Amino acid sequence: MERGLLRYRSAIDRIDRRVVRLLKKRLTLVKLVGRLKRKQGLEVVQPEREGEILTRVTRSVSERETRDFLTAVYRALFKASYRVEDDGEGD
pLDDT of residue 86: 81
pLDDT of residue 90: 46
Please count the structural domains in the chain.
Answer: 1
Phi, psi of 90 (to 5 degrees): 90, 0
Closest CA to 53 of 24, 17, 26: 26
d(CA 57, CA 9): 25
Give the DSSP H/E element, type plus range, for residue 65. Answer: helix 64-87
Instruction: Residue 30: count other Cβ atoms within 10 Å of its Cβ.
Output: 21
pTM: 0.83
d(CA 26, CA 24): 5
pLDDT of residue 88: 66
d(CA 49, CA 56): 11
> Could you list the residue range(s) of the whole structural domain that residue 67 is in?
3-87
**What CATH number is given to the structural domain containing 51?**
1.20.59.10
DSSP 16: H
Tens of each residue's pLDDT in the chain, 91 residues: 798 999 999 999 999 999 999 999 999 999 999 999 999 999 999 999 999 999 999 999 999 999 999 999 999 999 999 999 887 654 4
Q: Which amino acid type is present at position 14?
A: R
